[in-house]
């Protein structure tokens, strides 16, 4: 087990009994995180890291648990330490989201640039795109946010979409709605509903858009979103949203 080996290396002055105790606590921390008991996971992870500070899997648990609890600065500390210790870039979207929550949009952009230099998985890139687009939208740049997210091929209709596609469609639909382009927002929300009727609050969003249409509300952002789509063809950049999925702790 990787965690056991890391504990042996990180706590080389500890007795065998102490190491066994730390291993039990580490397993409990991972179990608590996977069960959604984030305060307990964070408490247990910190206890382990006090004695064995270099156990990457537990540093990751501490970072992700802090993230889920909205403790952005604490999450940044652990997630950055995890990346430095493990060389893993899979948690970069969560780290980007922490900086986004603190209003650090320049740092979000820097992390996106660094991520693209690596070889992230398709899922990680998709999540990072959503976060980055959200960060741009936070500054009021809805056109840039749409361009960023649509530039990743998000607008393509798929017969068998994966979870990441639903997240991207939903995020892009939200951006189009905020920009005033109700038809495009409705189309993207409908794609999500067809794939998973219970996903997020998408049915409520569609009902709201239906009420807007019946009340005769217009789409003031149509020209802006058309420009964003043209710009999207010229860029392959991307980003991500407020609730990134993560790969969970390693056992």
The answer to whether 50 and 7 are in contact (CB under 8 A) is no
The encoded tokens of residue 21 equal 């105790």
Phi, psi for residue 240 in degrees, rounded to 5: -155, 175
Each residue's pLDDT tens digit, 48-101: 999 888 899 999 999 999 999 999 999 999 999 999 989 999 999 999 999 999
Supply the pLDDT for residue 1.
Answer: 53
Sign of CA dihedral 229, 230, 236, 242: negative
- Mean pLDDT in the chain? 84
Supply the pLDDT for residue 78.
Answer: 98
The encoded tokens of residue 126 equal 């998709």
Lowest-pLDDT range, 6-15, 42-51, 142-151, 233-242? 233-242
Q: Does residue 13 register a pLDDT over 90?
A: no
- CA-to-CA distance for 17 and 45, rounded, in angstroms? 18
Say which residue, 221 or 161, is predicted with more confidence.
161
Lowest-pLDDT range, 11-15, 121-125, 181-185, 201-205? 11-15
Lowest-pLDDT range, 6-10, 227-231, 238-242? 238-242
Structural domains of the chain ordered from first start: 1-88 (1.25.40.10), 121-245 (1.25.40.10)
**Region at 249 (left for phi over 0; alpha for psi -120 to 50; beta for the rest):** beta
Q: Does residue 146 register a pLDDT over 60?
A: yes
Each residue's pLDDT tens digit, 160-219: 999 999 999 999 999 999 999 999 999 999 999 999 999 999 999 999 887 666 555 544
- CA-to-CA distance for 94 and 72, rounded, in angstroms? 10
Query: Among residues of the chain, what percentage have pLDDT more than 90?
Result: 65
The answer to whether 131 and 239 are in contact (CB under 8 A) is yes
Kindly report the three-state secondary structure assignment for every residue of 63-119: HHHHHHCCCHHHHHHHHHHHHHHHCCCCCHHHHHHHHHHCCCHHHHHHHHHHHHHCC
Supply the pLDDT for residue 220.
Answer: 41
Cα–Cα distance list, 202 to 103, 138, 150, 195, 199 (Å) = 27, 21, 19, 11, 6
The encoded tokens of residue 149 equal 């997210």
């Amino acid at each position: 087990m990787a965690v056991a080996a890391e504990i042996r290396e990180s706590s080389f002055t500890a007795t065998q009994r102490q190491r066994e105790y730390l291993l039990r606590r580490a397993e409990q921390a991972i179990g608590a995180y996977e069960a959604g008991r984030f305060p307990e996971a964070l408490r247990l992870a910190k206890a382990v890291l006090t004695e064995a500070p270099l156990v990457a899997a537990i540093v990751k648990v501490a970072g992700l648990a802090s993230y889920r609890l909205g403790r952005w600065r604490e999450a940044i500390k652990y997630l950055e330490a995890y990346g430095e210790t493990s060389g893993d870039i899979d948690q970069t979207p969560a780290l980007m989201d922490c900086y986004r929550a603190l209003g650090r949009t320049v740092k979000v952009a820097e992390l996106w640039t660094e991520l693209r230099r690596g070889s992230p998985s398709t899922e990680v890139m998709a999540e990072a795109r959503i976060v980055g687009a959200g960060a741009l939208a936070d500054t009021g740049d809805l056109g840039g946010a749409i361009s960023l997210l649509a530039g990743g091929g998000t607008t393509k209709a798929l017969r068998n979409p994966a979870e990441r596609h639903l997240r991207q469609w939903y995020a892009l639909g939200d951006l189009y709605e905020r920009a005033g382009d109700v038809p495009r927002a409705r189309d993207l929300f409908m794609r999500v509903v067809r794939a998973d009727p219970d996903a997020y609050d998408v049915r409520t969003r569609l009902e709201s858009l239906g009420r807007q249409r019946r009340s005769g509300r217009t789409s003031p952002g149509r020209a802006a979103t058309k420009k964003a789509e043209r710009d999207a063809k010229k860029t392959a950049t991307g980003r991500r949203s407020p609730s990134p999925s993560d790969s969970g702790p390693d056992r």
